[in-house]
Structure 1
Amino acid sequence: MKKSLLSASVASLLAASSFAAMAEGPTVYGRLDVSVTNSNNGIASMRSEDRGVGGTVLENNASMIGIKGAHNVAKDLDVIYKVEVGANGMTSNASSPFSSRATWIGVQSVAGSAIIGREDSVFKQSEGKIDAFGNGNSDIDRLLPGQGREADVVNYYSPRIANLVTVNGSYVLNDGNAKYADRAYALNATIGDKGFKEQKFYVAGAMVDGLEDIKAVRGVAQGKVADLTLGLLYQNSESAMPGVDRKGQTYVASATYAIGDWLLKAQYGQDNSGLGNFAKFAFVDQNKNNDQREQFLKDMKDFDLKQFSVGAHYNLSSNAFLYGQYTQFDGSTTLVDNKINLDDKLVTVGIRYTF
């Protein structure tokens, strides 16, 4: 009953915000992305109830709806805002069709912009557009830690210096800090344009301390030549949990090539940290029990995981496409002197529509 009331309240909030703010010119936007996936083991599945099962399932790939906008309150000063919720009704229990996504308010001026609320940290945002298979079962968060959306976060984004460089930061307030961290913050610096509109290259360096119970540094480089886009990402991560001596490196390489209405995609990744979502999904109960995860990270040895994905999407219009992809995970680890294979194969076909 409470879930039903909460869902109704969220829907009412979205509707009320749309009509009340129309005079200020807000933008209503969204994405609907649904696919059918067949997998061997289901470890990388989008739904927790499908993980470890395998077979053929319907997946909702981060479908959402939102409202965003800016309102001028003084010379060179705007109030900016975003209210966004996940749209889960296609696959989850109908009593909870919405979930939390980016929701914040802030200010924007010639000195940059600052927001407070729920949003991706600047560490996650530093990835740019390197993930050719984002928002699905082959997302780079299967390998990479530090890819979560943070609550109680303050993000600052600098203006583009010389139309080229930005310096950005995230700080999570005390009541939102990770369980094991005295502080939780992230920094990044970027050069170029991740959208390839003003420059055909993008380079970023980032670090995080405390968020997602990790410490990590990351480097990203991506460039576009004609219809070919290539990208590389390197990350060194270690657990911030006391008594957990887990650290390792992650590499990701991606390539996309546009041919008419087709976009061909390929991606390869390798991780030996064991701190990404694939390891968590394979071994930790879906109630996100921190104590169980901590023990698992202490017991795990010799973790190694490789991911290879290929696929294509076909543009039906400027805001809709069909897609198909194949992903293979190959890996292993040792738990209590038992070697365990970490393998999964996924075939996915789907449709995405944005508005």
Structure 2
Amino acid sequence: MTRWIYILLITLCLFWPRGSNAASEQFNFYAKLNVSYLSADEGEGRFSDIKSNASRVGIKGEMALDGDLSAFYLLEWQVDLADLSGDDNITSRNQYVGLRGNWGEVSLGRQDTVLKTSQAKIDQLNDLQGDIKNLWRGENRPSDTLTYRSPKWQHWQLSGTFIAGGAEQASTYSAALGYGDAELKATPLYLAVAMDSNVAGYDIQRLAAHYKWQDWVWGAMAQHQKRQSDGDNRNGWLLSSAYTLGQWAFKLQYQTMEDDWSLSGALDYKLAKQVKLFTFVTRQDKQALPDMNWLGLGVELRF
């Protein structure tokens, strides 16, 4: 049975008509389909390509329980709309189940570490060639995780990810303290301090800030990372900005890690609430590699 049939069966089960408890259950099927045409030079001459930029489909839901408890889940898969086919077309992303109450929430499965999620929406080139993961460590989605998020107290929230090591390696963890709303809807300011302890071989400390004023959004991050295997220490920082004018959004982002850097600019145009056209240009300069640059034009559809 292919993975697509597996996903279809899960979807049918979730959407199948239910009994009297249906009112206490909330679930939905969603997707983010993002594809771009690239004109690229990665050090060996210019070429063109079509890229599926972390396109994904998923199912998420929540069920009310007794005692002010609720159970929630998320099952998400990445799909490649451009290159890969067959079973290689689908790979696992965040997949977990958890409980939520007035004491916070706890979830188990495979999911992004709290250091990774501490970036919120600051990365304006997320999933594209200017994504922060191309220069920084810490963008991890490990298996065998237990994540706890506390209730918010005056917009402050503490969270942590424990990563079980199994029989062959030591357990590790990620921790974060955040202030405000990561979506910048409930509060115009978001702040976070986060750390990884030997996650994927690195110790990392990260500071993040995001601020919205009228039609402007500004973001900043700083990171220190140390490789456990040889003690290599590196520091980097990032600045981003976005300005919205009607259906248009103008974006700019600069990122460094020691002598490595990248500079990106992007322009989005909304055709509808869930559909946009976009174009971007990214220049990346790494000391150990040839200079690289990308020019892209794409479309994104969400539902």
TM-score of the two chains, using structure 1 as the length reference: 0.80
Unaligned segments of structure 2, at least 5 residues: none
Note closer, same or farther for the CA distance 1:20–1:41 as it changes in structure 2 (3 Å cut).
farther
What letter corresponds to residue 276 of structure 2 in structure 1? F
| 1:246-265 matches, cutoff 5 A | 246-265=232-251
State the Cα deviation string for residues 148-167 of structure 1 (Å, max 9, x = none).
211111111111112x1000
Q: What residue in structure 1 maps to residue 16 of structure 2?
A: 19
- Given that 2:14 and 2:27 are in contact with CA atoms closer than 8 Å, whether structure 1 keeps it comes out as no
Q: CA deviation at 1:93?
A: 2.1
Q: Displaced runs of 4+ in structure 1, greater than 4 A?
A: none
Q: CA deviation at 1:20?
A: 6.9
Q: 1:233-312 to 2 correspondence within 5 Å?
A: 233-241=221-229, 244-272=230-258, 304-312=259-267
Q: Which residue of 1 aligns with 2:66?
A: 74
**Are 2:260 and 1:328 equivalent residues in the alignment?**
no
Instruction: Write the letter of the residue equivalent to 1:38.
Output: S
Higher helix fraction (1 or 2): 1
C-alpha deviation, 1:309, in angstroms: 0.1
1:292 aligns with none
Give the number of equivalent residue pairs: 299
SS at match of 1:195: coil
CA distance in 1, matches of 2:18, 2:38: 39
Aligned to 1:231: 219
- Residue 196 of structure 2 aligns with which residue? 208
Note the C-alpha offset of 1:192: 1.4
Residue in 2 aligned with 1:141? 133
Task: Give 1:37's aligned amino acid.
Answer: L
CA distance in 2, matches of 1:252, 1:173: 31
Matched, 1:351 2:268: no
**Aligned-partner Cα distance in 2 for 1:218–1:20:** 46
TM-score in terms of structure 2 length: 0.93
SS of match in other structure, 1:17: helix
- Provide the C-alpha distance between the structure 1 equivalents of 2:246 and 2:109, rounded to a whole number of angstroms: 40
CA contact (8 A) 1:89 1:98 kept: no
Structure 1 residues 31-87: Cα deviation after superposition (integer angstroms, max 9, x where no partner): 110001111117xxxxxxxxx785111100111111111111212100111111112
Residue 124 of structure 1 deviates from its aligned partner by: 0.3
Q: 1:18 touches 1:67 (CA, 8 Å); kept in 2? A: no
Partner residue, 1:47: none
In structure 1, stretches of 5+ residues that fail to align are 43-51, 273-303, 334-340
Q: Distance in 2 between matches of 1:97 and 1:53?
A: 28
Deviation at 1:13, TM superposition (A): 3.0
Matched to 2:247, the amino acid is D
Selected match of 1:314 from 264, 269, 272: 269
CA distance in 2, matches of 1:148, 1:20: 37
* More moved, 53-62 vs 304-313: 53-62
Residues 232-267 of structure 1: CA deviation (Å, up to 9, x unaligned): 1000001122xx231101111000000110000000
Which has more strand, going by share of residues?
2
Q: How far off is 1:21 after superposition?
A: 7.1
Residue equivalent to 1:128: 120
2:110 touches 2:142 (CA, 8 Å); kept in 1?
yes
Question: Residue by residue, what CA displacement relative to the aligned partner does 1:97-137 show, whole Å, maximum 9, x if unpaired?
Answer: 21101111000000001100011000101111110010122
